[in-house]
Chain A
Amino acid sequence: MSARLKIVRAGPQVTVQDLGRTGYVAFGLSRGGAADRLALYEGAALLGQDSWLAALEMAGAGGVFEATADIRIAFTGAPMTASLDGKALTWPGSHDMPAGSRLEIGAARRGTYGYLHVGGGIDVPVILGARSAHLAGGLGAALDAGTELPVGEDPGGPTGRTLPADDRFSGGEVRVVPSVQTDFFPEETRDRLVRTAFEKDPRANRMSARMRFEGDGFGVEGGLSVVSEVIVPGDIQVTGDGVPVVLLAESQTTGGYPRIGTVIHSDVARVAQAQPGAPLRFRFVTAEEGRGAEAKAAEARAALPKRITTLVRDPADMADLLSYNLVGGVTRGDDI
């Protein structure tokens, strides 16, 4: 029988996520999928598997997990404290999880969304082309303690791997391209948007992230009479009270608030991952610059497998220390 992953205790919002569903905008269903898509590619690279496989997305904190058979796991996204039978595990990283062992994933140290990947992927049924829960659209739900998730067939592969730490978990600058109503906003308002030091508001979820700031709002005359048009992920809409809100993976497909710009895809995770209070700034770039940045991000995704390195074990854990070559720090790569 194939392995199952048991949720012994669930954090505030644990959901199955993959790269989402495309092709349903006309029917009111947005793409959804992981709030931090790069984390899925990282997990796939760590386990040497397809990036379309589903993982668990954990908002704020993880939970306690057990497997019914030996499985491989990997952590990506917001770094969380993690331990297996009390022994600390590296994040990001891939590890073995023996049957019956207890995996504890605590609170995020930075960022919001952490990901637990399993070798073979979380194998819940595919609905409308994907396995991801779309909470706003009524597909799937946050998982409770007691849930047992089927794990897909894992051809196996090395564990004990890691990736260089990334800086997308603490806010920062995000690049913005023009969008549907950018020219609706006076130049003064657009200039002020890029000069303003924003903070992520605690009111944020998989649908959207609200900005907090000092000073005048960014409302525009006639803004409330804008006719609804299609939303794309990353759109910055300005609500009736003049507050910019960045629309994320699970946004509605259409919206009637004017949109001052769109955060480029490769920077959306920086907005989604920022913790409440983390600083955020917007910088307008041209569509051409934006496309260049996206192309570079796609190259970096494709190159992820080359950036994987072998985890260095804590010498205190190495009972057979003398058998290791400690001089050059060089190993074959699959021997520890």
Chain B
Amino acid sequence: MTATLPRIVPAGLDGLIVRFGDILSEPANRAALAYRAAFDAEGVDGVAETATSLVSTFVRFAPGADPDAVQARAATLMDSRDWTEAALPSGRRLVRVPTLYGTDRAPQLAAAAEAAGLSEADAVTSLSSARLRVTAIGFAPGQPYLGTLGEEWDIPRLTDLAQVPAAALVVAVRQLVLFAQASPTGWRHVGQTRLQLFRPEADTPFVLRPGDEVTFASISENAFDDLPDGPDGGAEWEDIA
């Protein structure tokens, strides 16, 4: 398919999607985040909610809205500038998440390192020094997709699924995912954290937002066992924009 980008496509009768890329790329992800923030700031009538996925922005119509009017506003904003050149929106945070790599709590580190052509030590250095962006939240409530790792981490998902616990850090296709809940997955379990991502009864039920940045600093097994009790699991927040 060779349609132009960006473009607007229908999402059933519920809403529309403004698509900035046909594959995952940093500029397309940044465009989706920036466009959503700008669209929200316009306060368009007839919009129930907005969201981003990896390379697109979703606009859901409110009941009774005039979909053509909302789409016209979305198109005007889309055409108003080159969104792949836009800066990331404000209100983003840097979150540092203490992470235990390997051991029997994250048993696929060795296999993942081998698939990436790295020693285990180099794999830990690579992952723990990366500063990654929450490119999307999905699959489970509050669960982030984080990108983008170097080319060496372009390792495939496994077809044999393994069960991982909540707060597991997994890797595949140049991305990390931090699991919100225990789940089967074909991504490789390389690290374990204590960060509870979905807190249904808290004032802030969802800890991370698209556009936030996250690091997964390596800590020892002893330090992991000594992490303070509570849902933050030793994570620290800092406003960056």
Bound CA–CA A232/B51 (angstroms): 12
On chain B, the residues within 8 Å of A117 by CB distance are: none
Query: Is B136 close to A, CB under 8 A?
Result: yes
B64 nearest in chain A by CB position:
A298
Task: Give the segment of B10-18, B90-98, B123-131, B184-192 that binds chain A.
Answer: B10-18
Are B11 and A232 interface neighbours, CB within 8 A? yes
A225-B23, A254-B139 in contact; A287/B49 too (CB < 8 A)? no
Give the distance to chain B from A179, nearest Cβ to Cβ, in Å. 5
Q: How large is the interface on A (under 10, 10 to 19, 20 to 34, 35 or more residues)?
A: 35 or more
Q: Is the CB of A139 within 8 A of B200?
A: yes
Q: Is there contact, CB below 8 Å, between A184 and B1? A: yes
Q: A229-B17, A252-B138 are in contact. Are A177 and B12 (CB under 8 A)?
A: yes
Q: Mark B170-199, 1 if CB is under 8 A from A, else 0.
A: 000000000011000000000000000010
Q: Which of A137, A227, A233, A234 has the most CB of B within 10 A?
A: A227
The minimal Cβ–Cβ distance linking B216 to chain A, given in whole angstroms, is 20
CA distance A177 to B136 in the complex (A): 26
For the complex, what is the distance from the CA of A252 to the CA of B143, rounded to whole Å?
A: 11
Contact yes or no, A230 B58, CB < 8 A: yes
Q: Which of A22-30, A40-48, A93-101, A322-330 contacts B (4 or more CB under 8 A)?
A: A22-30
Q: Is the CB of A262 within 8 A of B56?
A: no
A26 to B49, CA, bound (A): 8
CA distance A234 to B12 in the complex (A): 8
B75 at the interface (CB under 8 A from A): no
Q: Min CB distance, A18 to chain B, in Å?
A: 15
B142 interface hit (Cβ, 8 Å): yes
Residues from 16 to 63 in B contacting A, C-beta threshold 8 Å: 17, 19, 21-24, 48-56, 58, 60
Contact call A254/B141, Cβ cutoff below 8 A: no
* A228–B141 touching, CB < 8 Å: no
Decide if A227 touches B55 in the complex (CB within 8 Å). yes
Task: Give Cα A228–Cα B198 distance, bound, in whole angstroms.
Answer: 21
Known: A138-B198, A290-B13. A227 touches B54 (CB 8 A): yes
Looking at the assembled complex, report how far the CB atom of A205 sits from the nearest CB atom of chain B, in whole angstroms. Answer: 15
Tell me whether A294 is interfacial, beta carbon within 8 Å. Answer: yes
Given contacts A222-B1, A230-B56, 18 further A-B contacts (CB under 8 A): A23-B48, A26-B49, A27-B205, A28-B139, A127-B200, A128-B200, A138-B140, A138-B180, A179-B9, A180-B11, A183-B3, A228-B53, A229-B56, A232-B14, A233-B14, A234-B12, A252-B140, A262-B14
A interface with B by C-beta (< 8 Å): 22-29, 127-128, 136-139, 177-181, 183-184, 222, 225, 227-230, 232-235, 252-254, 262, 264-265, 287, 290-291, 294
**Top 8 nearest A-B pairs by Cβ distance?**
A262-B12, A26-B51, A254-B138, A230-B58, A27-B206, A29-B141, A232-B14, A25-B51
